Amino acid sequence: MIQLFQVVKTFGPNVVLNNIDVKISKGELVFVTGPSGAGKTTLLRLIFGAERPCAGHILINAINLNRISRSKLALLRRKIGFVFQDFKLLPHKTVFENVAIALEVTGLRPRLVRKKTHQTLRLVGLAPKEKAYPPSLSGGEQQRVAIARAIVKDPLILLADEPTGNLDPDLTQDIMVLFRNIHQRGATVVIATHSRQLIAGIECRTIVLNQGNIFEDMG
Ligand SMILES: Nc1ncnc2c1ncn2[C@@H]1O[C@H](COP(=O)(O)OP(=O)(O)OP(=O)(O)O)[C@@H](O)[C@H]1O
Ligand SMILES: [Mg+2]
């Protein structure tokens, strides 16, 4: 489902990923961890097609991202949910609109968009805030809007970048339950985090990045 072959990513002299080979099968739940600057966000962005590798190639559902057209990439992304580390919410749209947008672009009927958006906002505990604008929300609330936007379309692949960094332990547990439910429905879930608390107690594959390499791949 997600395959990286000999992927190199550099920014100027900075070699962030150095000949990385990774295979993540359909339906896996995987953590990507490693110190700040290790390349976790870069790895997720490469998988999302938001960055291009300097060498090597990436296949998503057997589609080579090096060769894909912009329009095909847009179609592929409809199946991928991305929780951005910096949220990327639209400040002039309400919480409801920020989440609904992810469904509107798929062409779903407005009635279903409304129903699914309400459902998802309830799941992340944000129903009371649906008319609020992102700048008026706390960090944890903004993070949950970003999570709702990523999961509302029932993605086949969920890429979550430090998704619980701004949440308290109780909310972190709730969000992990949500991610596990999505995983149990058959989605492939990749979670980047440096939180040991998040990984502790969950038996699953963990890819550890360090200095451009995969330091460890276990589970
Ligand atoms: N667009 C960019 N231009 C230049 N350098 C970049 C860019 N994006 C990332 N980098 C560099 O690549 C390295 C890896 O960054 P990345 O954001 O992937 O790390 P990370 O593991 O997600 O870190 P954190 O845990 O702090 O989120 C860093 O040294 C960063 O400065
Ligand atoms: Mg990061």
Give the closest ligand to the alpha carbon of residue 161: 2
Please state whether beta strands 14-24 and 63-64 pair in parallel, antiparallel, or not at all (unpaired): unpaired
- Mean pLDDT of the chain, nearest integer: 94
Among 132, 125, 124, 138, CA closest to 96: 132
What pLDDT score does 195 carry? 83
Question: Is the minimum distance from the CB of 39 to ligand 1 under 6 angstroms?
Answer: yes
**Mean pLDDT value across residues 84-97:** 97
The CA 14 to ligand 1 mean position distance, Å, reads 10
Closest atom of ligand 1 to 85 CA is 27
CB 214 within 8 A of CB 20: yes
Q: Which two tokens stand for residue 18?
A: 């150095």
Structure confidence at residue 19 (pLDDT): 94
**Crossing angle for the helix pair 95-104 and 139-151, to the nearest 10 degrees:** 20
Please give the share of the chain, as a percent, with pLDDT higher than 90: 87
> Per-residue pLDDT for 50 more than 90?
yes
Q: What is the pLDDT of residue 94?
A: 98
Find the 31 Cα to ligand 2 centroid distance in Å: 13
Q: What is the pLDDT of residue 28?
A: 96
Q: Ligand 1 in contact with 17 (CB < 6 A)? A: no
Would the CB of 110 count as within 6 Å of ligand 1?
A: no
14 lines ligand 1 (CB under 6 A): yes
157 within 8 A of 40, measured Cβ to Cβ? no
Residue 118 in this model has a pLDDT that exceeds 90: yes
Count of all residues that appear for the chain in the document: 219
What the block records as the tokens of 180 is 């596990």
- What pTM, to 2 d.p., does this model score? 0.96
pLDDT > 90? residue 41: yes
Backbone angles phi, psi at 192, to 5 degrees: -90, 130
Which ligand is closest in space to the CA of residue 16? Answer: 1
**194 CB within 6 A, ligand 1:** yes
The sheet carrying 2-11 orders its strands as 14-24, 2-11, 55-60, 63-64
Average confidence (pLDDT) over 48-77: 96
Q: Who contacts 94 (Cβ-Cβ below 8 Å, separation ≥6)?
A: 130, 131, 132, 133
Ligand 1 and 81: CB distance under 6 A: no
Every domain of the chain and the residues it spans: 89-146
